[in-house]
Every structure is written in C-alpha cells, then in structure tokens.
Amino acid sequence: MNRQQPRFRNKRGVVGVIFREQKLLVIRRSLTVPAPGKLCLPGGTIEKGETEEFALVREMQEELAIDVSPIRLCWRSVTPWGTTLAWWLASLAEDKTPVANPAEVSEVHWMTRSQIRSTSNMLPSLPEFLGASQSGEIELDVAF
C-alpha cells in the first residue's frame, strides 16, 4: 500500500498593530472566514512573492479600506496550527476610519488592554501578544 505523507505547507501571515489614543485596532472576524467570530488584530496571509510590508498594506486595504504605513516588525509568533505570524507596527492617519469589509470582518473596535482581556472568543495569538507586550518582550512605543 502506497501512502503519501501530507505535504507541510509553510504558511505565513502578517498582523497589523495599529494604535490610536492608546487603544489598539481590533476586529471580529466575519462568519464566512476561518475562525469565524473570533476577536483578533487585522491581518492575513502573505502571498507568494510578497514582502511582509506589502502584505500588511494589502490586507489592511482589503479588510478595512485603510491605507497604513508599516513602521517596523515588533514580534514573531507561530499559531497552534503552524502559521508563522509577523506582527508589524503600522501608522494610520488620524482622519481615517476603518470600514469593515463584511466578507472578512464583522466588527471594528479601538480597545484598551483591559477591554481586550475582558472579552471572550478571541484567537489564541491575541492574549499571547498582550502577555508578551506586558512582559516587555515586545516594544510598542505606545503606552498601552
């Protein structure tokens, strides 16, 4: 019997870390995407041939109709399902308001650390990020 081994796919994603008035931009995923209804930071898959910065800009435009400027990589993590995530600090002009693309995002919020911690139904990477930022593992350049 000839059994094929499953192919390992090195999936990579990018996450936008965007602050306004010491609050973090957080989304709730739509019900039509993987991990439906979960709270997380905006982001998505880095497509073949894309840089992390390009993917960040594209994903923010697709999910929230906003143009962001990548500042710097602030953290890397791996999801429980093996996706490597690049967490990028990014800036958003003060006069720009994120607008959810309902195909991908059901809600958009600006939240403090305590507000995020008091919610439920979030992707596991979000509390890990909060913990790493609170312990000083991540330098955010923002009082959060």
Going by the DSSP 8-state scheme, the letter that residue 66 receives in this structure is -
Q: Is the model's pLDDT at 7 over the cut of 70?
A: no
Rounded to whole angstroms, the Cα distance separating 90 from 88 reads 6
Torsion sign over Cα 129, 133, 139, 140: positive
The pLDDT value given to residue 9 = 58
Contact call for residues 96 and 67 (beta carbons, < 8 A): yes
Nearest CA to 57 out of 39, 31, 136, 65 is that of: 65
The pLDDT value given to residue 73 = 97
The pLDDT value given to residue 131 = 94
The pLDDT value given to residue 3 = 45
pTM, entire model: 0.91
Rounded to whole angstroms, the Cα distance separating 86 from 103 reads 23
pLDDT tens digits, one per residue of 30-63 = 999 989 999 999 999 999 999 999 999 999 999 9
Look up residue 84 and give its amino acid. Answer: T
State percent of the chain over pLDDT 70. Answer: 94
The pLDDT value given to residue 2 = 42
| Token pair in block for residue 105 | 């995002």
pLDDT tens digits, one per residue of 11-22 = 999 999 999 999
For residue 126, count other CB atoms closer than 10 A to its CB: 19
| Token pair in block for residue 95 | 């006069």
The pLDDT value given to residue 121 = 93
| Token pair in block for residue 48 | 């073949």
The pLDDT value given to residue 41 = 98
SS3 124: coil
Structural domains of the chain sorted by starting position, each given as residue range(s) with its CATH number in brackets: 12-134 (3.90.79.10)
The pLDDT value given to residue 106 = 97
SS3 65: coil
The pLDDT value given to residue 72 = 97
Contact call for residues 40 and 125 (beta carbons, < 8 A): yes
